[in-house]
Structure 1
Amino acid sequence: MQFRVLGVPEVHDDVADRWVPLTSPKQRQLLGALLARPGVPVPMARLIEELWNGRAPGKAVNALQAHVSRLRQLLIEAEPSRANSPRLIARDTGYVLQVRPEELDSARFRTGTARAVALLDSDPRAARALLKEALGLWRGPAMAGSTSGPLCAGAAAELEEERLTALQALYDVQLRLGPRREAVGELRRITAAHPGRERFGGGRPWERAVEQGPDLPPVPAAAAGTGAGDGGELLRLRARVDELVDEQRLLRTQVERLSLLLARRGRAPGALTRR
């Protein structure tokens, strides 16, 4: 079984190669809430708040139990061998969904990024591969369509922050290893998606570092022809200068960002440790 929250909450039955049919939004939200802290019992009161957001029906406990029973039955149908030991069980005054870390995409994402961070200095190429693999698990916004309650919304916000941190680490190492042209393009796309996020730019909007062009005169109109002869060569040189200036500014902002981060944490650069 594979449980997924890096996108719409869903369950995949690997044996039958099919998706478990979660047909109602509340089933997906219940699944997401139980996977927000996998293996940890979630009190019924919190699940009721999650599913109805302060507008619970008169018999909220019965309604919750009905949703839990339906989700449990769907999981048993996908795993008949666990009929006597279902994954979704009552515990303490709530419910817990039992999943192994390798069965949950968010856990695999976190494991992959942690392994990558540990290798950033000693083996940056391996770190880059691990970061790409971890980020490839994302299918859309975390808990997509299920964030009306506090449990899923909080977990989604944490995961999104971790995704952006992993992206930052990936393009830091990409700039070190190259090809840098690819990294510059991707950094621009991230900037467009998160225009107000100053963290990437080391205390100033990141887009300022990637959008400012080089202070060079424009290519004369007469030279901007078909790409043949001296005019074409000039255009190619100008394009290469643009790339180099982009790379230089991006590298400078990475140094500024890291310096500010270390200063806020009260660490000297040599004292940086991996988490």
Structure 2
Amino acid sequence: MRFRVLGVPEVHDDVADRRVPLTSPKQRQLLGALLVRPGVPVPMERLIEELWSGGAPGKAVNALQAHVSRLRQLLIEAEPSRANAPRLVARDTGYVLEARPEELDSARFLRDTARARALVDGDPRTACALLTEALGLWRGPAMAGSTSGPLCAGAAAELEEVRRSVQKLLYDIQSRLGLRHRTAAPGPRRPAPVVPGDRGELVRLRARVDELVDEQRLLRSQVEELSLLLGSRALSRR
């Protein structure tokens, strides 16, 4: 099982090699909030604020429990071996999602960039390859579509700041190694380009395809949610 927040929050089933379908933006927000600090309980009140940003429904606790129950069931369906020990459980008046660092793309990104920084002076080519692969993990903006609440917004801002610094570092290393001409600074949301044949090029192209698919799915779900909201308001005025 892999958990992804470097783009639209999602779960990937490694056994079936497929994305676990999350059925609403609220589920993606919930997943993102729980993955800000995996293994650490997040209080109910913080999750309610994250999902509804001050506009919580009258029975917000019940609504949150319903979203948690559905997300837990999706995770169990994708990982039946953990049916008796689910990853998402209630703890200390909140909820916790158990995920190992190697299962989380943001943790892998931070680990690989730390390794690369340690190699910059002694082995810049290996550092360059590590940074390229780390940036290839990104599928779009961090926690895309799920940053209306403070937990995800704060985590996304920190990840984006690291991403920008990594892009600049990669650009500097490539220039020093003569892999590219020094021209304008790289854009804030795109990995620095590499020469054709670089082993990270294919990774980034695949990531870009995933990013476009995620953006399309996100827009579709937002349109559906808005349509439902407008429909319910129209009915209430009758």
The Cα of 1:189 is off from its aligned counterpart by 4.2
SS at the partner of 1:90? strand
Question: In structure 2, what is the equivalent of residue 157 of structure 1?
Answer: 157
Question: In structure 1, what is the equivalent of residue 46 of structure 2?
Answer: 46
Distance 1:137 1:180 in 2: 22
Question: In structure 1, what is the equivalent of residue 178 of structure 2?
Answer: 178
Larger radius of gyration: 1
SS at the partner of 2:77? helix
User: Greater RCO between the two (CA within 8 Å, min separation 6)?
Assistant: 2
Between 1:89-98 and 1:157-166, the stretch displaced more is: 89-98
Question: In structure 2, what is the equivalent of residue 33 of structure 1?
Answer: 33
Question: Any idea what the Cα deviations from partners look like across 1:65-111, whole Å, max 9, x if unmatched?
Answer: 11000000000000000000000011112111101111110000000
Find 2:187's aligned residue among 186, 190, 203.
190
Distance 2:15 2:179 in 1: 40
Aligned partner letter, 1:109? F
Q: Which runs of 5+ in 2 are unaligned?
A: 191-238
The Cα of 1:180 is off from its aligned counterpart by 2.7
- Deviating above 4 A after TM superposition, structure 1's stretches of 4 or more consecutive aligned residues are none
The Cα of 1:137 is off from its aligned counterpart by 0.3
Question: Any idea what the Cα deviations from partners look like across 1:217-243, whole Å, max 9, x if unmatched?
Answer: xxxxxxxxxxxxxxxxxxxxxxxxxxx
Distance 2:152 2:32 in 1: 6
Question: In structure 1, what is the equivalent of residue 200 of structure 2?
Answer: none
Question: In structure 1, what is the equivalent of residue 55 of structure 2?
Answer: 55
Task: State yes or no: 1:114 paired with 2:111.
Answer: no
Distance 1:179 1:75 in 2: 43
Alignment of 1:1-275 (within 5 A): 1-181=1-181, 184=182, 187-190=184-187
Distance 2:124 2:185 in 1: 22
Question: Any idea what the Cα deviations from partners look like across 1:116-137, whole Å, max 9, x if unmatched?
Answer: 0111111111111100010000
SS at the partner of 2:12? strand
SS at the partner of 1:190? coil
Distance 1:60 1:179 in 2: 54
Distance 2:38 2:96 in 1: 8
The Cα of 1:188 is off from its aligned counterpart by 4.1
Distance 1:122 1:188 in 2: 25
Distance 1:41 1:165 in 2: 30
Percent identity (aligned)? 79
Total equivalences in the alignment: 190
Distance 2:172 2:41 in 1: 38
